[in-house]
Every structure is written in structure tokens, then in C-alpha cells.
Amino acid sequence: MPEGAEGCHSPPVTRALPLLLLSLVAGCQASVKAEVNSGKKAAEEPEPPPSLVTTAHDSTVRTSRIGVSHRLTLTPEASSRPLCRCLAAAVGAPGDPSFSWRGEPPSVGDDAFVVAVSGDGTPCDWPTRGRGPSIMAVEEEAGNIIVTLEESRPGIPPARGAIVHRPASAEPWVVFRTEARLPYSAPLPGSGEPVCRVRLP
């Protein structure tokens, strides 16, 4: 090896190391700035999946049970107020003071309402007054709710209440009908109504 050649490579490497470190730091800073300027979010802050985002719809109470309820009747006071011929009825929320429940009222959301009927204590000029009305069927027709009534049968508990899906129409009616020649679907004299019905609140 020529004289003076020993250790000749060490000084350039020593001088180059700070330059290499500075270039790496500058490159990292440029990468971070580019990521921030591009609008990308850091990996530690991901967007929550849609299924975990709480919405007003998720908090709405939905009615789980629809149909006839034998726990629901009208109060004696409400039963004495005739809606139609020989019939007292009320529609609304389960907590309406016109309703009487056996046990706790069920949870009913905005997607449903309750209806109850009675013939007890209601003035009736029908020649052969029977055992009172019973709900036979409930269905939607042309945006309204049709409640079909029948005469209560011996040995069968009458269905005096029901939980019903609320129709999508803006101002629906609850219309009471009968299949047989019964008085419950006839409007009160002088009421001006063409049929026995009540507006759903």
C-alpha cells in the first residue's frame, strides 16, 4: 500500500454521514407535508363504519306486536259516549285516558296506534240489542283503516281492542263496518257523516 494511503477513505465517509441524515429527515418531512396537503387522514383515525353511526331512525320505538288485544277495552266513561249507532270507540296512543288496559300498556311507536270499541252503556235503539261489538278484522284500504265488527259470540271472549299499523296517508280515517245487518256501522242521526268513522289523530 502506498505511503499515506492508510485511512484515506475515513474522512469522506465521516463527512457524508450528516448529509445523508439530513436528506432522510428532509424526505420524511416532505412526505408528511405531501400527505397533509393531499387531504389524506392518518391511519390512526379511520372513518367509523356506517353501521356504527347513530341516527334518529335507530332510536325510534318500533311496534313489535300488531293485532287484536284482549287486554284493551274502553273505560266506562268512554263507553258511554257513542261514536255511531250502538257503538262507542276511540283511537289514539295507548296512554289515552279513554283506554283501559289489563296490566301495563305495551310499547307502541309512531308506526302504530290502538283502537278500542264498546257497546256497554251506549244508547242503542236497535230492536234486538245483542252482546255488543267485537273486532273481527282490521285492514288498510285506500289509505284508511277499516275495522270490521261482528256481534260477540257466546263462549268466546269479545275482541274489544287492537294495535294497528298506521297508514302512510296524511289524514287517514278509521272506518267501522259490519258484515251482517248490525247497527255498529251506521252513523249517528244528525252527525252528517256518510259512514261510521273517526279521524286518526
The string of DSSP codes covering 117-136 is EE-TT-----TT--S-EEEE
Q: Does residue 166 sit in the same domain as residue 85?
A: yes
Q: Is residue 48 part of a domain?
A: no
Q: Is the pLDDT of residue 157 over 80?
A: yes
Q: Is residue 1 part of a domain?
A: no
Q: Does residue 98 sit in the same domain as residue 136?
A: yes
pLDDT tens for residues 94-147? 999 999 999 988 888 889 999 999 998 888 888 766 789 999 999 999 999 999
**DSSP for residue 72:** E
Kindly report the pTM of this predicted structure: 0.67
- The answer to whether 160 and 72 have CB atoms below 8 angstroms apart is yes
Q: Is residue 138 part of a domain?
A: yes
Q: Is residue 50 part of a domain?
A: no
Q: Is residue 52 part of a domain?
A: no
Q: Does residue 65 sit in the same domain as residue 140?
A: yes
Q: Does residue 22 sit in the same domain as residue 88?
A: no
Q: Does residue 19 sit in the same domain as residue 117?
A: no
Mean pLDDT of 74-81: 96
Q: Does residue 77 sit in the same domain as residue 171?
A: yes
Decide which of 185 and 28 is more confident: 185
Q: Does residue 93 sit in the same domain as residue 186?
A: yes
Give residue 81's identity as a one-letter amino acid code.
R
* Residue span of the structural domain in which 72 resides: 61-199
Q: Is the pLDDT of residue 22 over 90?
A: no
Name the grid cell of 143.
289509505
- The answer to whether 107 and 162 have CB atoms below 8 angstroms apart is no
Query: At a CB cut-off of 8 Å and minimum separation 6, what does 176 contact?
Result: 83, 84, 87, 89, 117, 147, 149, 184, 185, 195, 196, 197
Q: Does residue 157 sit in the same domain as residue 114?
A: yes
Band (pLDDT 50/70/90 cuts) for residue 32 is very low
Q: Does residue 113 sit in the same domain as residue 189?
A: yes
Q: Is residue 51 part of a domain?
A: no
Q: Does residue 148 sit in the same domain as residue 66?
A: yes
Q: Does residue 99 sit in the same domain as residue 193?
A: yes
Segment holding 96, helix H or strand E: none
Q: Is residue 167 part of a domain?
A: yes
Q: Does residue 82 sit in the same domain as residue 17?
A: no
Q: Is residue 154 part of a domain?
A: yes
Query: How many domains in the chain?
Result: 2
The string of DSSP codes covering 149-196 is EEEPPTTS----EEEEEPPSSSS-EEEEEESSS-GGGSBPTTS--SSS
| Cα(186)–Cα(176) distance, integer angstroms | 9
| C-alpha distance across the termini of the chain, in Å | 107
Decide which of 12 and 75 is more confident: 75
What percent of the chain is predicted at pLDDT more than 90? 51
Band (pLDDT 50/70/90 cuts) for residue 30 is very low
